[in-house]
């Protein structure tokens, strides 16, 4: 078993706070992953939804397709 002097020297050289701190790289990686998930969710919300109502250029193209088919 170490003597009190040996134990004291060991504790002085070891920084417990630094041992338990999160590294900046891990925080950054977590933040990037979180932002990627948020961007994916926003893209999914903004994706066009197929609908029964057609307007604009899509309406003209569909009309031409239907006319040519007859």
- Every domain of the chain and the residues it spans: 23-48
pTM: 0.40
Question: Alpha-carbon distance 47 to 61, whole Å?
Answer: 21
> Mind listing the pLDDT tens digit for each residue in 19-50?
556 677 788 889 999 999 999 999 988 887 77
DSSP summary character for residue 47 = S
Q: Which two tokens stand for residue 43?
A: 């893209």
Integer CA distances (angstroms), 60 to 54, 55, 67, in order = 9, 8, 11
Q: Which two tokens stand for residue 44?
A: 């999914």
Question: Alpha-carbon distance 33 to 39, whole Å?
Answer: 10
């Amino acid at each position: 078993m170490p003597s009190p002097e040996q134990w004291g020297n060991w504790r002085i050289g070891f920084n417990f706070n630094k041992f338990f701190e999160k590294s900046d790289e891990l925080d950054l990686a977590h933040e990037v992953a979180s932002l990627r998930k948020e961007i994916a969710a926003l893209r999914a919300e903004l994706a066009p939804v197929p609908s029964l109502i057609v307007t604009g250029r899509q309406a003209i193209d569909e009309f031409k397709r239907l006319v040519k088919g007859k």
